[in-house]
Amino acid sequence: MNILVTGSAGFIGSSTSIRLLELKHKVIGIDNHNDYYDINLKEARFVRNSQYGNYLHYRVDIIDKKKIEQIFNLHKPEIVINFAAQPGVRYALKNPDAYIQSNIVGFVNILECCRHNKVKHLIYASSSSVYGANTKLPFSEHDNANHPLSLYAATKRSNELIAHSYSHIYGLPTTGLRFFTVYGPWGRPDMALFKFTKAILENKSVDIFNNGKHKRDFTYIDDVVNAVIEVVKFLPKSNKNWVGINPDPATSKSPWRIFNIGNNNPQTLNGYIKVIEKTLGLKAKKKFLHLQPGDLLETSANIDDFKNQFNFKTNTNISEGIQKFVSWFRDYYKI
């Protein structure tokens, strides 16, 4: 198929593009290569994608509606996977406009292009952050998620709601994937595993928020990509049993669906760091700090819906995943 992937030089976007290319799909990649983190890493991911003959790449920002329209009109993608977004919970405190522009304006541009080009299915990245103030664990798609604690989370929840309106009004099938703390080779330098590994190897201290007590449902990149590939083969349909008097937040009478993508095995940050230390054979210099504004105390994914729909399970435990990341890190940075 012709599949358009935005954020294709990003962490999840690049890894997903590679898998789609291996499956012989034609991938049209879009990425703005911004400097939120190391551009060289994004360039390296782009080079990795470009090794496949069935890959095309556009250095375009999804907020540029005219250029995005031109790409859609030219290639007529059957499936669109939107991973382009301004990530990060804490950066939103410094630059909120970046989140509104990319995550709201840019997302609506993608939706508009999808409806005008008769795209069969839009798949988009949401986040575990949308659960916000929820304390019922594990987080379920069938629970309310209307109390986000960060602007990033609010924009991701907005994506889900705006997508629903397009599914309802225009009949555009949309599937939102709430990713839970994705990690692994080619990962983002602003995330814990990358930062901790780099700091420990350089004998520098690492900032540990909430004294390392908060928990995350760390999910390995290959498991995430496997999940996305399953959704590519899936088309959301109307839930005929959906009723407005007791609305199910995960489904709809429209062709719209939300799924959690997680490991369903949360770990404390302190425990995560211990595995990194063991893998590196080095001890971390720890600087313990308070919980940051917008951070959740714990994330844990209920993935029963995804398991039941796709007979799916995650295959990578924390020790194995961190070992694979460290091996990649040493190789990539010639350590």
Query: Cα 71 vs. chain centroid, distance in angstroms?
Result: 23
**How confident is the model over 221-264, as pLDDT tens digits?**
999 999 999 999 999 999 999 999 999 999 999 999 999 999 99
> In the chain, where do the E strands start and end?
2-6, 26-31, 55-59, 79-82, 121-127, 174-179, 182-183, 205-209, 215-216, 219-220, 256-261, 267-268, 285-289
**How confident is the model over 153-208, as pLDDT tens digits?**
999 999 999 999 999 999 999 999 999 999 999 999 999 999 999 999 999 998 89
Which of 281, 267, 150 shows the shortest CA–CA distance to 218?
A: 267
As a whole number, the mean pLDDT across the chain is 96
Half-sphere exposure of 112 (CA within 13 A, CB side): 16
% of the chain beyond a pLDDT of 70: 100
- Residues 40 and 82: beta-carbon distance below 8 Å: no
Question: In the CATH scheme, what architecture does the domain 2-186+219-264+299-314 have?
Answer: 3-Layer(aba) Sandwich (3.40)
Structure tokens, 138: 């594990």
- Residues 300 and 138: beta-carbon distance below 8 Å: yes
Active-site residue set: 152
For residue 310, how many other CB atoms are within 10 A of its CB?
A: 16
**pLDDT band at residue 299, thresholds of 50, 70 and 90?**
very high
CB-based contacts of 125: which residues, under 8 Å, 6+ apart? Answer: 7, 12, 82, 83, 85, 156, 176, 177, 179
**How confident is the model over 261-297, as pLDDT tens digits?**
999 999 999 999 999 999 999 999 998 888 787 788 8
**How confident is the model over 102-127, as pLDDT tens digits?**
999 999 999 999 999 999 999 999 99
First to last CA, the chain: 39
Cα dist from 171 to 183, 253, 284, 322, 329, whole Å? 34, 11, 52, 42, 44
- What b/e string do you get for 168-180 counting C-beta neighbours within 10 Å, with b at 16 or more? eeeebbbbbbbbb
- Residues 260 and 128: beta-carbon distance below 8 Å: yes
Amino acid identity of residue 32, one-letter, is N
**How confident is the model over 23-68, as pLDDT tens digits?**
999 999 999 999 999 999 999 999 999 999 999 999 999 999 999 9
- pTM, entire model: 0.96
Backbone angles phi, psi at 166, to 5 degrees: -70, -35
Could you tell me which residue, 306 or 92, shows the higher pLDDT? 306
